[in-house]
Amino acid sequence: MRAVRLGVLTAVLAAGCGGGGGVSGNVFAPGWQSDAGESIARVEQKLRGAPRPSDVAVVVGVTPDGLVGSTLPSGSVWRRAGVVDAVPSVAPDGVVMATSDGHAFALDGKNGQPLWSVSVAPFVLRGGADDGHYSVLSLGKPRLSQSRLLVVDRSGRVMVDMTSDTELGRPAIRAGVAFVPWGGQYVSAIDVTTGSEIGRLLTRELPSHALDIQGNLYFGQYGLVRLDPHIKYAESFQATHYTFKPRELPGNPVWLGNGLDLPLVDTTARAKIRLFAAPTSDDKGITIAGNSYAGTYFRALYGFALSDGHLLWADALAADAVGGGPAASGFVFCDETGKVHLYANDGGTGPVDDLGQKLVACAVGASSLRVEGGASRGSLAQQIEQSFRRFDPDMASAEALLIKELGKLDDPEVTRILIEFAEDARIPPAQRESARKLLAKRKNGSEFMLAALEHHYDFVTGDQAPPVGPLADALAGLHDARASAPLARHLNDPANSIDDVVRAARALEVLATSAEARDLSTFFALYRATADDPALVDAVLSVASALVRVGGSEGRALVERASADPFTQPDVGRGLAKLVAPKPAAAAAAKP
């Protein structure tokens, strides 16, 4: 069979008007009249049960001077020299497709052996697919809308070669039928042996991706429709449909992204902020494999529940993530050092592969891989704590997300971790403040709180003052009288901030006992005449209230004298006068 070539969009294919149920003589012709799904239904019926090669899990890393790859989970590493123009595509059968130095080529992902190579200059790879006999490639030009569709058989013979002024999306192929998204609403089904368009799908799902995952074909970008007997009704929104709506994540990563964009090798921060999820199907419809999805933010990795987006697991790599992909169960991530990390859906870790070279990007085809029963990394709270130890200063957004999720956990150990975060000067101030706010609301972990209050700032050892204010709020909310003594000692510690002192005084107003009267009196004597800040005034009044409550007649007399002393700060004096004034009920009872 000779190659079918089309020079421009409006050119007529040599075989386009022949038999085989052709839809249009002009592939990618925008003036096509809808056939109410008849042609794509015939294609679906034709391919129903069509054989497909076995899936092979492959990872391919892009190095500064070539490619390096391996099967997963622990295959032999292969290498290919030559700088590539874009991130390669990995087909379900393990075939790797890429462009380099004006040529498109395919490799066997199991061993790196070349399968074919053809000249395509000046086009570069947008996306590729393979069905075991034919490779289909969507190619584009940087900064230009012109596209090229190429189909090559295993011998290297070009079966189809078309150029189009319409941007073509990322294709799929099954049993010699290539599916090519284009035009923002169409997917053309092309018989690669004739070049004829034998079916066309019209869908409002903004199709820019055609996906072949575990034997199912999907089309879309934000949402997906599945090639099944219902595909005929896609135009009327009655096809098997799914829209994936992940939670908002740091850096705002998107799921599939725009399939019309060229996946040029990107060494900026954007390439390190990714989102991974794999569609899966059953008789009920489409969902996300493992009911979970994962994201990367530089070194940070995290997994989320599909149901409500809550955090399932977290980790931090020793180097930034530069790519990855979802597996049939679990996830695969590559880092800059060439390490390949496997994670189960619950965050358990599988074996770590080493490609042996530094990477600038990677692509993963792992629809057959199941990562299950990996090594446990402790509770979610412990995972977050361990992740923080590996974060750099530029990880503030990931830290903010993890601290917020940490505060949702009931584990008492969360209290200990929040205390450490609030004290750690290496954590950005905004995240330390978030930890303080969450700590103030804790309802358990009081033993950790009391232990923290026993510490004070020490210039010699460098020990930091504990987060006294949040601890005071939490312990007051728990009505834990054991906190009264350490809080009273912190009142007179000059290393504590005014905010901490105010909140400690407020807690002592309800927690203090007579045993703390001396510390309370000391604070009152020091500040009732010198309080020069509204917050400090509040603290003095809270301490005075505690003295009246627990200090007996001596404590009340101290407050009464201060209320009448002209040297008492005026705002404090007015507050004290109200505090010691006879209550209306008491005054009425004193009358004859």
Phi then psi dihedrals of residue 519, to 5 deg: -65, -40
Query: Domain check: are 494 and 424 in the same one?
Result: no
Predicted local confidence at residue 15, as pLDDT? 33
Domain endpoint, select from 243, 277, 305 = 243
pLDDT (tens digit per residue) in 356-404: 999 999 999 999 999 988 778 899 999 999 999 888 877 889 999 999 9
Where are the strands (E) in 426-576, listed by range?
A: none
Instruction: Establish whether the linkage from the previous residue to 73 is cis, with ω within 30° of 0.
Output: yes
Domain endpoint, select from 219, 243, 267 = 243
Query: Domain check: are 30 and 178 in the same one?
Result: yes
Single-letter code of the amino acid located at 147: S
**Matching residue, tokens 């619950």:** 346
409, 405, 483: which is closest to 443 by C-alpha?
Answer: 409
Share of the chain above pLDDT 90, in %: 83
pLDDT (tens digit per residue) in 56-85: 999 999 999 999 999 999 899 999 999 999
260, 281, 208, 263: which is closest to 97 by C-alpha?
Answer: 263
Predicted local confidence at residue 56, as pLDDT? 96
The DSSP bridge pattern shows strands 134-141 and 144-153 to be antiparallel
Neighbours of 332 (CB within 10 A): 27
Predicted local confidence at residue 591, as pLDDT? 55
Query: Domain check: are 9 and 158 in the same one?
Result: yes
pLDDT (tens digit per residue) in 254-299: 999 999 999 999 888 888 999 999 999 998 999 999 999 999 999 9
Query: Domain check: are 419 and 513 in the same one?
Result: no
Name the packing angle between helices 413-423 and 380-388 (round to 10°): 20
Residue 348 to residue 159: CA distance in whole angstroms: 45
Domain endpoint, select from 221, 243, 265 = 243
Predicted local confidence at residue 27, as pLDDT? 86
Question: pTM for this one?
Answer: 0.88
pLDDT (tens digit per residue) in 162-185: 999 999 999 999 999 999 999 999
Residue 284 to residue 246: CA distance in whole angstroms: 21
Query: Domain check: are 542 and 495 in the same one?
Result: yes
Is 27 within the bounds of a domain?
A: yes
- For residue 190, the enclosing domain spans 4-52+86-243
Q: Residue 189 sits in a domain of what CATH number? A: 2.40.128.630
Number of domains, the chain: 3
> What mean pLDDT is predicted for residues 484-490?
96
Query: Domain check: are 430 and 484 in the same one?
Result: no
Phi then psi dihedrals of residue 360, to 5 deg: -110, -15
Is 484 within the bounds of a domain?
A: yes
Query: Domain check: are 382 and 519 in the same one?
Result: no
Where are the strands (E) in 52-113, listed by range?
A: 58-63, 66-71, 78-81, 89-90, 95-100, 103-108
Residue 118 to residue 372: CA distance in whole angstroms: 40
Query: Domain check: are 497 and 440 in the same one?
Result: no
Residue 270 to residue 255: CA distance in whole angstroms: 13
Predicted local confidence at residue 9, as pLDDT? 36
Task: Answer yes or no: is pLDDT of 4 > 50.
Answer: no
Query: Domain check: are 568 and 425 in the same one?
Result: no
Query: Domain check: are 421 and 545 in the same one?
Result: no
Is 68 within the bounds of a domain?
A: no
Is 239 within the bounds of a domain?
A: yes
| Residues listed for the chain | 592
Query: Domain check: are 475 and 440 in the same one?
Result: no
Query: Domain check: are 38 and 106 in the same one?
Result: yes
Is 362 within the bounds of a domain?
A: no
Q: Which two tokens stand for residue 380?
A: 């979610």
Is 322 within the bounds of a domain?
A: no
Is 101 within the bounds of a domain?
A: yes
Mean pLDDT (the chain) is 91
Neighbours of 481 (CB within 10 A): 13
Residue 142 to residue 355: CA distance in whole angstroms: 29
Predicted local confidence at residue 28, as pLDDT? 86
Single-letter code of the amino acid located at 362: C
pLDDT (tens digit per residue) in 84-124: 999 999 999 999 999 999 999 999 999 999 999 999 999 99
Residue 135 to residue 366: CA distance in whole angstroms: 18
Is 106 within the bounds of a domain?
A: yes
